């Protein structure tokens, strides 16, 4: 009996051996549960982040679609406005064409202009007669001449004496060393009561002070125009007796008043011939005669 262990002590030892093993199992189970929870938590976080990214992507797509739709609406609205503006312009244009316009010329002008054949070049005698027939002004008309020069003859300027007389007698101011100071003071005060100024070369330095005033008016004495002369009295007399100054404008056209409508045909013809003789025939593109407010007549250049 002494050599055999008792049953109760054996069972006790067996229980003691089992206890650590159960604790280990419990601990291992807790560790496993903790890991599982961690994995589940990480999976949840990943799914949550993925879901948030998906939501953000969908929101960005919706915003992009909204902007695209807004841009399309703007373009459509702009196109509609442009079309409406075009229609409005067409309406105004149609209304404008329907408005009765006032004729550019009066009844008298429209009646007499039919006597002149468009594009025809008339002989001087016939042209002068047409001028008389087509004069429409109530007052005594002035006959004007307009000569278009070609580009090979530019910056034309000079003087000539009309044998048939000038349109009106010009008031000529003679300037010499005796009256230069008086003339300068008079012009500076604003008093200009002359049509032509003829000066002696010696007074030109003093007259230079008046260049800004007289130049724009075409009154500044100039050797090319014959208004600067050693013999002031003789030059002045020529201007009073029918001497005229001419100058081509920016369009290279010379404009001259050549006679009154009541002037004899022969005197008018003489003036025209003298004027045409100042320019080479090959340098004249065209020449027209006209009365004040009347239609123009093209003349033949020989």
pLDDT tens per residue across span 50-77: 777 777 788 888 888 888 888 888 888 8
pLDDT tens per residue across span 257-280: 998 888 899 999 999 999 999 999
User: What DSSP designation does 117 have?
Assistant: P
Instruction: Please give the residue range of the domain that contains residue 81.
Output: 7-101
Is there a domain that residue 185 lies in?
yes
Is there a domain that residue 69 lies in?
yes
Q: Are residues 258 and 132 in the same domain?
A: yes
User: Residue 129, Cβ neighbours under 10 Å: how many?
Assistant: 14
Q: Are residues 15 and 86 in the same domain?
A: yes
Q: What local confidence, expressed as pLDDT, does residue 149 receive?
A: 93
Q: What local confidence, expressed as pLDDT, does residue 2 receive?
A: 46
Indicate the pTM of the whole model.
0.55
Q: Are residues 210 and 146 in the same domain?
A: no
Q: Can you give the CATH number for the domain in which 192 is found? A: 3.40.50.790
Q: What local confidence, expressed as pLDDT, does residue 1 receive?
A: 44
CA-closest candidate to residue 295, choices 63, 94, 130: 130
Is there a domain that residue 51 lies in?
yes
Instruction: Order the strands of the 296-298 sheet from edge to edge.
Output: 253-260, 142-149, 284-291, 296-298
């Amino acid at each position: 009996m002494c050599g055999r262990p008792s049953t109760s002590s054996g069972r006790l030892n067996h229980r003691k051996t089992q206890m650590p093993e159960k604790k280990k199992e419990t601990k291992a189970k807790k560790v496993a549960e903790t890991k599982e929870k961690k994995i589940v938590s990480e999976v949840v976080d990943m799914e949550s982040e993925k879901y948030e990214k998906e939501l953000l992507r969908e929101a960005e797509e919706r915003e992009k679609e909204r902007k695209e739709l807004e841009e399309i609406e703007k373009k459509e609205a702009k196109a509609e406005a442009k079309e409406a503006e075009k229609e409005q312009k067409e309406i105004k244009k149609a209304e404008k064409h329907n408005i009765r316009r006032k004729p550019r010329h009066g009844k008298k002008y429209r009646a007499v202009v039919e006597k002149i054949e468009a594009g025809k070049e008339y002989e001087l005698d016939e042209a002068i007669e047409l001028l008389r027939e087509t004069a429409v002004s109530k007052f005594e008309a002035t006959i004007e001449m307009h000569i278009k020069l070609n580009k090979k003859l530019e910056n034309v300027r000079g003087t000539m004496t009309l044998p048939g007389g000038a349109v009106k007698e010009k008031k000529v101011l003679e300037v010499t060393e005796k009256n230069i100071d008086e003339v300068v003071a008079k012009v500076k005060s604003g008093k200009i009561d002359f049509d032509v100024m003829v000066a002696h070369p010696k007074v030109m330095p003093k007259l230079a002070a008046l260049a800004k005033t007289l130049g724009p008016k075409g009154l500044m004495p100039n050797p090319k125009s014959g208004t600067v002369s050693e013999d002031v009295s003789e030059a002045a007399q020529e201007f009073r007796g029918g001497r005229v100054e001419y100058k081509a404008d920016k369009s290279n056209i010379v404009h001259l008043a050549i006679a009154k409508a009541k002037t004899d045909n022969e005197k008018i013809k003489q003036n025209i011939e003298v004027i045409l003789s100042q320019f080479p025939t090959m340098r004249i593109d065209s020449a027209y005669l006209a009365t004040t407010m009347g239609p123009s007549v093209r003349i033949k250049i020989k």
